[in-house]
Amino acid sequence: MSNLLIKNGTVIDPAEGIDGKLDIRISDGLISEIAQNLTGDEEVFDAEGMTVIPGMIDVHVHFREPGNEGSETIATGCASAVAGGFTSVATMPNTYPTTDSEPAISFIRLQAQKAGLCNVYPVGAITKGRKGVELAEMGSMVRGGAVAFSDDGIAVESAGVLRHAMEYSAMLDKPIMEHCEEPTLAGKGVMHEGDVSTALGLPGIPAEAEEAIVSRDIMLAGLTGARLHIQHVSTTGSIDQIRFAKKQGLNVTAEVCPHHLLLTDDRVKGYNSFFKMNPPLRPERDRLSCVAALKDGTIDMVASDHAPHSAEAKQIEFSYAAFGAIGLESTIAVLLTELVDKEIMTLSELLPRLTTAPAALLGIDKGRLKVGGDADIAIIDLNHKWKIEPELFASKSKNCPFSGMECKGKNIATIVGGKVVYGR
């Protein structure tokens, strides 16, 4: 554990009511003091001109290990996370083999410990092999350290199977995280079904494919009392249903990705496969709905859905390219540039969507700058101007939809458990 004194920064944590020029003392990996004009014999981190925030938490990442280490490993994924200011991440179970057992959960945790960079919280599969037929051993996975359950990449097709999964998850007090897409409606679609897909001659995925499963899952959450988390929301109709569910008092949360907040299906007109993701980019109406829902709290948090792919899988004909985009190293920069700098949201409004809301979902005591709490901290420069160049990223994969974007705002340093793991 490290002893460190962060001095001269502007410290912001809405959850703790902190916003001002303060110093932070770190002792044995914990925050021991937050005050003005602190002195001591610790190593000093001079944060003059910087903004000090709680380490961010991403509830939806793919680190590909085991099974596809050529695209990402847990170690390179963790390096990517801390480069972006994320101190904790939740890894999805669509690995090969599937993360659907206690030994598989333990493997993820062991590899993360070896990497020694950020906190990694494995999400276990809902069903064995993500086949949607037989429930995985949910209780033993929780014993091994699973924080949630998901068949991410596909929805659980059987409502009966999902009902039983929700009943078990309610007993375990862990959320079900659903990729909401009705497979027979999505078919072989490769982008949003609409005017652009028609003009390009590409098969589309209608908004209703997402909305049908959102509706079903909300009803099952009401039936079972389970905690339901809806992943990567992308349509106005989904948001309307989530808003209604919350008004009814159901335990439903939702996330949105930066690409659905900031990009539309118009980007596909150049057949650039970096803009091929699932759910697909939607029209401007849906993008604006996502932004408004994030601002008003209908959508609880931002998640990157960091989905690394090799050049061989991504840089091919659009129809055959893999779905997904990396995002850990670009998320805070594009949000600061397009939401905060343009005064759509303040930094104080945005931060809980990246810290306390994800922490509450995962049930972890993170995302705050509080005395006695873990010293997981990001130090950002709100005025730093730079261009996103994925070839310089720590991630093994380079499929970033924001490649070439000029940004204002960047993560400068990341501290996890009192140790500077990125920056300086």
- pLDDT, averaged across the chain: 97
Radius of gyration (C-alpha) of the chain in whole angstroms: 21
Q: What CA–CA distance (Å, rounded) separates 88 from 228?
A: 21
Question: Do the domain assignments include residue 400?
Answer: no
In the predicted structure, residue 2 carries a pLDDT above the cut 90: no
Q: What is the mean pLDDT of residues 387-403?
A: 98
Helix/strand/coil for 33: strand
Q: What CA–CA distance (Å, rounded) separates 116 from 75?
A: 8
Give the tens place of pLDDT for each residue, 362-382. 999 999 999 999 999 999 999
Query: Could you give the percent of the chain with pLDDT greater than 70?
Result: 100
Question: Do the domain assignments include residue 391?
Answer: no
Question: The domain that contains 19 carries what CATH number?
Answer: 2.30.40.10
Question: Do the domain assignments include residue 37?
Answer: yes
Which tokens sit at 145? 């350290």
Question: The domain that contains 297 carries what CATH number?
Answer: 3.20.20.140
Asked if 34 and 107 sit in the same domain, the reply is no
Kindly give the pairing relationship between strand 228-230 and strand 252-256: parallel
Catalytic (active-site) positions: 305
pLDDT number for residue 65: 98
Asked if 416 and 280 sit in the same domain, the reply is no
pTM as predicted: 0.97
User: Can you list the positions of beta strands (E) in 111-188?
Assistant: 119-122, 176-178
Q: Which of these three, 362, 396, 413, is where a domain ends?
A: 362
Question: Do the domain assignments include residue 152?
Answer: yes
Give the tens place of pLDDT for each residue, 61-95. 999 999 999 999 999 999 999 999 999 999 999 99
CA 393, chain centre distance (Å): 17
Asked if 66 and 47 sit in the same domain, the reply is no
Asked if 127 and 20 sit in the same domain, the reply is no
Give the tens place of pLDDT for each residue, 226-271. 999 999 999 999 999 999 999 999 999 999 999 999 999 999 999 9
In the predicted structure, residue 166 carries a pLDDT above the cut 60: yes
In the predicted structure, residue 1 carries a pLDDT above the cut 60: no
Q: What is the mean pLDDT of residues 168-185?
A: 98
Which tokens sit at 77? 């994924």
pLDDT number for residue 424: 74
Asked if 16 and 129 sit in the same domain, the reply is no
User: Can you list the positions of beta strands (E) in 154-203?
Assistant: 176-178, 191-192
Question: Do the domain assignments include residue 394?
Answer: no
Asked if 176 and 199 sit in the same domain, the reply is yes
Handedness of CA 142, 144, 148, 149 (dihedral sign): negative
In the predicted structure, residue 133 carries a pLDDT above the cut 60: yes
Residue-range definition of the domain harbouring residue 377: 4-51+373-386+405-422
Asked if 151 and 38 sit in the same domain, the reply is no
Closest-CA residue to 50 (of 32, 79, 24, 17): 24
Asked if 105 and 67 sit in the same domain, the reply is yes
Q: What CA–CA distance (Å, rounded) separates 400 from 324?
A: 9
Handedness of CA 245, 246, 252, 255 (dihedral sign): positive
Asked if 22 and 44 sit in the same domain, the reply is yes
Question: Do the domain assignments include residue 395?
Answer: no
Q: What is the mean pLDDT of residues 276-300?
A: 98
Asked if 282 and 254 sit in the same domain, the reply is yes
In the predicted structure, residue 21 carries a pLDDT above the cut 70: yes
Q: What CA–CA distance (Å, rounded) separates 152 from 169?
A: 16
Phi first, then psi, for residue 17 (nearest 5°) are: 70, 30
Total of domains in the chain: 2
Which tokens sit at 165? 């999964």
H-helix segments, 234-330: 236-247, 258-262, 284-296, 311-314
Question: Do the domain assignments include residue 397?
Answer: no
Question: Do the domain assignments include residue 355?
Answer: yes
HEC profile of 132-145: CCCECCHHHHHHHC
Asked if 177 and 46 sit in the same domain, the reply is no
| Spatial strand order in the sheet of 119-122 | 56-61, 86-91, 119-122
Q: How confident is the model at residue 276 (pLDDT cuts 50, 70, 90)?
A: very high
Asked if 381 and 318 sit in the same domain, the reply is no
Q: How confident is the model at residue 219 (pLDDT cuts 50, 70, 90)?
A: very high
